[in-house]
């Protein structure tokens, strides 16, 4: 079934005081448009999903690997492809707006078991 949507009509979920997101998904792929406040830290985690992150504004500093062996800064216009099961952590430098795409869909984001995100202070 074809879905035509507009970001302005998609509900905004306030995950924490520093993170909000909008979700669009089908059977096999999920897209999230997110806004973060400066200093939000996505704790180290990994998932079975392949992830593509596109930064619209601000800067995201990623650390990759179990011991944070690799650091990558993404600025507005940058896109990164993160393979499945790769541990990663991310810090928002300035207010950030970005779009993430995952395949398969993030079931933890749909059923509320994404507690690693909800514990940010």
* Full DSSP string of 31-72: EEEEEE-TT-EEEEE--SSEEEEEEEEEEEEEEETTTT-EEE
What is the Cα 25 distance to its own chain's centre? 14
Q: Please count the CA atoms within 13 angstroms of the CA of 48 that sit on its side-chain side.
A: 7
pLDDT digits (tens, 9 = 90+) for 64-87: 999 999 999 999 999 999 999 999
Per-residue confidence at 120, pLDDT binned at 50, 70, 90?
A: low
The span from the CA of 82 to the CA of 5, in Å, is: 26
Domain ranges of the chain: 7-110
Given a cut of 80, whether residue 43 has pLDDT beyond it is yes
Per-residue confidence at 61, pLDDT binned at 50, 70, 90?
A: very high
Q: What is the CATH number of domain 7-110?
A: 2.60.120.10
> How open is the CA angle 69-75-76, to the nearest 5 degrees?
150
């Amino acid at each position: 079934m074809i879905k035509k949507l507009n970001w302005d009509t998609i509900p905004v979920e306030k995950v924490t005081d520093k993170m909000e997101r909008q979700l669009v998904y089908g059977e096999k792929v999920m897209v999230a448009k997110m806004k973060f406040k400066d200093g939000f830290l996505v704790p180290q985690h990994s998932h079975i999903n392949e992830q593509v992150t596109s930064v619209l504004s601000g800067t995201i500093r990623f650390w990759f690997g179990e011991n944070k062996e690799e650091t990558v800064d993404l600025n507005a216009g940058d896109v990164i492809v993160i393979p499945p099961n790769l541990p990663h952590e991310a810090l928002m430098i300035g207010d950030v707006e970005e779009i993430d795409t995952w395949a398969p869909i993030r079931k933890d984001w749909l059923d509320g078991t994404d507690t690693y995100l909800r514990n940010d202070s």
